[in-house]
Amino acid sequence: MTVSTVGVIGAGQMGNGIAHVMSLAGYEVYMNDVNPAALEASLGLIEKNMVRQLNSGRITEAEQTAALARIKRTTNLEELGDCDLIIEAATEDEKIKQKIFDSLLPHLSAHTILTSNTSSISITRLASRTDRPERFLGFHFMNPVPVMQLVELIRGIATDQETYDICLEVVNRLGKTAASAEDFPAFIVNRILMPMINEAVYTLYEGVGSVQSIDQSMRLGANHPMGPLELADFIGLDTCLAIMNVLHDGLADTKYRPCPLLTKYVEAGWLGRKTKRGFYDYRGEFPVPTR
């Protein structure tokens, strides 16, 4: 099967980035969200990000115009039923994802491949609730999608080779690189990254260093482009906590216990950049550490 139409469920940070790159690669994109305002805002952000690519010479004006014309928006899940490939990019909550797939199943064509952009949840478990576990795959993009080159492809226990090969072809057409990951909690990138971020939060929690000193140490001492607390704010502290809980629950190892300070920030609604406060306060002209 050759993929020509792609459904993207969720018009948030990841969903709009996925729709962006898919449309530029020539796919007809159906972008879905329950919130019409989110769909409208998402298209505006896609256009803004494409203008950046245009100004930097990475795409032409004709490519931008054609790509934007390929994106169709809908609040009705059933309109995605005929798509060749569907990528679920809703919030990192297994119950929400299961509810989406349950609602989608009655409308799907027999050939449709289902995938999830989950960064940590079991692909095997998600697939088992559908009528096509052999045509279900983890399709994990990195954020920001138009910039980051890696895509993790995660096979569930029932995923067949044809499904993997079709999705690998899509990744190649996007000009990105696929990493094949086994279906264990948090896969590869977040299995390594999130414990580092969690340890940075523990370092702050225990008073070993301040927000500024911890981030400065990792930028200048380990040559990281962003400090771990700055990166956590960029990702979203709620997402970081959700992934740490998946690791802790799935692997039953105390080394993955989420730091109480991370939990406290999430309880306060200080989720990072998207709420203007996290380990930094973003409400002024420049970010200011909150501890």
Residue indicated by tokens 């300070």: 261
pLDDT digits (tens, 9 = 90+) for 189-226: 999 999 999 999 999 999 999 999 999 999 999 999 99
Q: What are phi and psi of 79, to 5 degrees?
A: -70, -10
The predicted structure's pLDDT at residue 206: 98
Determine contact, residues 32/81, Cβ cutoff 8 Å. no
Q: What is the mean pLDDT of residues 74-79?
A: 95
Q: How confident is the model at residue 153 (pLDDT cuts 50, 70, 90)?
A: very high
Task: Return the CA Rg of the chain.
Answer: 19
Mapping DSSP onto H, E and C, the string for 206-275 reads: CCCCCHHHHHHHHHHHCCCCCCHHHHHHHHCHHHHHHHHHHHHHHHCCHHHCCCHHHHHHHHCCCCEHHH
Fold of 5-182: Rossmann fold (3.40.50)
Residue 141 has pLDDT above 90, yes or no: yes
Q: Are 90 and 97 in contact (CB under 8 A)?
A: yes
Query: For residue range 265-276, what is the model confidence (pLDDT) as tens digits?
Result: 999 999 999 999
Helix (H) or strand (E) holding 197: helix 189-205
- Chosen CATH of 190-289 out of 3.40.1390.10, 1.10.1040.10, 3.40.50.300, 3.40.50.2300: 1.10.1040.10
pLDDT at 1 (0 to 100): 84
Residues 73-85 have a mean pLDDT of 96
Q: Which residues are catalytic?
A: 119, 140, 152, 190
Q: Bridge partners of 281? A: 277, 288
pLDDT of residue 128: 96
Round to whole Å and give the CA distance between 156 and 167. Answer: 14
Say if strands 136-141 and 150-155 run parallel, antiparallel, or are unpaired: antiparallel
Dist CA 239 CA 118 (whole Å): 11
Task: Tell me the domain boundaries of the chain.
Answer: 5-182, 190-289
DSSP 56-85: TTSS-HHHHHHHHHTEEEES-GGGGTT-SE
Indicate if the pLDDT at residue 92 is higher than 90. no
178 forms beta bridges with 151
Q: What is the model's pLDDT at position 182? A: 94
pLDDT at residue 123 in the model: 97
Cα angle value 232/233/238 (rounded, 5°):
75
Would you say the CATH fold of 190-289 matches that of 5-182?
A: no
Question: Given this model, what pLDDT does residue 114 score?
Answer: 98
CA distances (Å), 29 to each of 16, 124, 280, in order?
11, 26, 36
